[in-house]
Chain A
């Protein structure tokens, strides 16, 4: 199936692949403004490997290049060096079989919440009724039912973020890229959203690359946590999280969770991210 071709996608949408896509990146670096005076080495060299259907978190200090990694993996920014394979294909242009939640919600303020989500259907030429049903389901599951007709300006920050999550999921992509999707949420909504995302993920086979500042979120959601060093970032440690799913709300009370969290703290301390 040609993933870049929306016409091909819509005609074959009922028989879409059930398994998520894989990412294999090797030796990638990103220098913003390469070759100019203002060149800024933002990332790498770094390798990254995400298996089909896996839930992987990237955690690291502010400015280490997490958002940059996501933009590279999505093909929206080009790598300065190295290469990225998406499902075995070398990435040359933005991938479209993907749902992205950006660090800022990036909703279009001239569209209502529902129309923002349905933009996926309009642009990709997918079946309107089917996508509308999925949108309704997602609004419901994400706790934003009733705000369909409201404009982004009329929503709270947390609601906007959940609308952008619905937009990333409505077309049922094989991969989800999420950049601190719950960063702006209050603690209660954050815990609930984490659980909602975990349940949605468990029902499907999507691959998820999840960027976060929160150790609790990383451990609470991931199969693997990749810890990044300070700028220019690279992955310094990989931690497999062997905890049953779905994971409970108050992870802090579980000793296994505390051990994982402690390990990440230790790595940060060693990297000089924390100075106590």
Chain B
């Protein structure tokens, strides 16, 4: 099963890599042809070279970014899923708390960054908090939908078995809501990898966003491009990990054999 998935990903990855390679090649040739200055618009050979030459530093920042994503995202899941269950189970929360959350979510989260800096100072933890704010809401909404739309007749089964509330949650409701929770987590991880770079621009002293900001201050455009590539790779890893995770954790949700 896992090998099948890996094969599917392998295949599309090869096609994707070929396309990217062709594009970079074209870019290199054109930049050479028209003699574009490197400090303004680097050639692929320049920034791929930087990726090689400074890989230890870049990898360190990529790791910091990944950890920030993981922290923010994990916090997002740990808060939204139980909260979704509480909101769905307690009508008063749905009427009272949920509109407040919806309103808070409308506020631009990057504006909260500077406020958090004043309160807590600069550091990766603040970026993690911003990432959390970014991915929290989509997970909450989909998890609520999942818990709400569990086939009510499943309660017939759980109740006729004499299941406790605890068992009802762990054996019936949570797994039944899992596909919806996962679709929220997939949106959440996209938001997280998008948001983390911006969060690091404004509120961190480590990570790819911070590195790009610094490079910008020094007019080091090829490092900025290298950072962009590294950020794309980090995003790719997280998105693929999510899909693989889904297939492994929920083998039932795929099509039948």
Interface residues of A (CB under 8 A from B): 4-6, 71, 74, 76, 94-96, 98, 100, 102, 104, 106, 108-111, 119-120, 122-124, 151-154
Contacts and interface: CB of A to CB of B under 8 A. Distances in A.
A108 B176 contact: yes
A151 to B, nearest CB: 4
B14 to A, nearest CB: 30
Contacts of B176: 108, 110
B175 A100 contact: no
A123 B257 CA distance: 30
Contacts of B175: 108, 110-111
B161 A96 contact: yes
Max chain A C-beta neighbours (<10 A), residue from B156, B158, B176, B255: B156
Nearest to B179: A110
A10 to B, nearest CB: 11
Given A122-B171, A123-B171, A153-B252, A108 B163 contact: no
Contacts of B250: 110
Contacts of A106: 151, 153-154, 156-157
Contacts of B252: 109-111, 151-153
A4 B162 contact: yes
Contacts of A96: 160-162
B37 interface: no
Contacts of A5: 162
A6 B161 CA distance: 9
Max chain A C-beta neighbours (<10 A), residue from B160, B176, B178, B255: B160
Contacts of B255: 153
Main secondary structure of the interface of A (DSSP, over half): loop
23 contacts: A71-B156, A94-B162, A96-B161, A96-B162, A100-B156, A100-B157, A100-B160, A102-B157, A106-B153, A109-B252, A110-B250, A110-B253, A119-B161, A119-B171, A120-B161, A122-B167, A123-B162, A124-B161, A124-B162, A151-B251, A153-B252, A153-B255, A154-B256
B172 interface: yes
A52 to B, nearest CB: 20
B156 A76 contact: yes
Contacts of A71: 156
Given A106-B154, A108-B154, A110-B175, A153 B256 contact: yes
B247 interface: no
Contact of B159 (A94, A109, A153): A94
Contact of B158 (A95, A104, A110, A123): A123
A100 B251 CA distance: 27
A110 B178 contact: yes
Contact of B160 (A95, A111, A151): A95
Interface string B142-161: 00000000010110111111
Rank and list the top 7 A-B pairs by shortest CB-CB distance, nearest first: A96-B162, A154-B256, A123-B161, A110-B175, A94-B159, A151-B252, A153-B256
